[in-house]
Amino acid sequence: MISEQIEQFQHMKKNMTRLMLMYKFALAELETKIEILQEEFLMIHDYNPIEHINSRLKAPESILGKLNRKSKGISVESIRENVRDIAGMRVICSFISDIYQIFEMLESQSDLKILEVKDYIQQPKKNGYKSLHLLIEIPVFMTDCKELVTVEVQIRTIAMDFWASLEHKIFYKYDQFVPERLLIELKEAADSAFALDQKMERLHNEVKIIKDENKYETVDELTKLMIKNQHGTIPTAFLEMLDKV
In a domain, 244, yes or no: no
Give the pLDDT of the chain (245 residues) as one tens digit per residue. 677 777 777 777 888 889 999 999 999 999 999 999 998 888 888 788 999 999 999 988 888 888 888 877 777 788 888 888 899 999 999 999 999 999 999 999 999 999 999 999 999 999 999 999 999 999 999 998 999 999 999 999 999 999 999 888 887 767 777 788 888 999 999 999 999 999 999 999 999 888 877 765 555 655 565 565 666 666 666 656 655 65
In a domain, 171, yes or no: yes
Query: Alpha-carbon distance 92 to 98, whole Å?
Result: 9
In a domain, 242, yes or no: no
CATH number, residue 123: 3.30.460.10
In a domain, 230, yes or no: no
Residues classed as catalytic: 152
